[in-house]
Amino acid sequence: MLRQLVRVKFFCASDSPLSTELGALRRQLIFRSNHLGIKELDLIVGTWADHNIPNLSQTQLLDFNNQVLKHETPDLLKKVLGQLAIQENEPLVKELRSFALDGSVSKIDNL
């Protein structure tokens, strides 16, 4: 019986090209978020990415890449820490700033 359940689950799993591409994009964005080059920024952006990227749609993933990861690292750090203004078209950077400044990073387990 268990073998049949495993077989059914295996064949029902979504292995479409789109889901495979999204999974690869999610892994790439999480890796890049944890390896930005400044330890403090790695902790803030990486922790946010670890907890939020699995739930984002394809459009939101591309927005995260364009709004957050395309920034120069020193500029992104200044924006996240509130030392540089955030533009209107960067809501994810604004979300990262609130995540960093309200103490959410320190509230997450395993840090």
- pLDDT exceeds cutoff 60 at 85: yes
Domains and CATH numbers, the chain: 18-107 (1.10.150.250)
- Give the model's pLDDT for residue 18: 62
- 42/52 Cα distance (integer angstroms): 15
For position 61, what pLDDT does the model report? 96
Pick the residue with more confidence: 31 or 101?
31
Q: 45: buried, middle or exposed (CB in 10 Å: 19+, 13-18, 0-12)?
A: buried
* pLDDT reading at 5 higher than 90: no
What is the tens place of the pLDDT at every residue in 86-103? Answer: 999 999 999 999 999 887
64-76 confidence digits (pLDDT tens): 999 999 999 999 9
pLDDT exceeds cutoff 80 at 77: yes
User: Residue 80: which of 63, 100, 66 has the closest Cα?
Assistant: 100
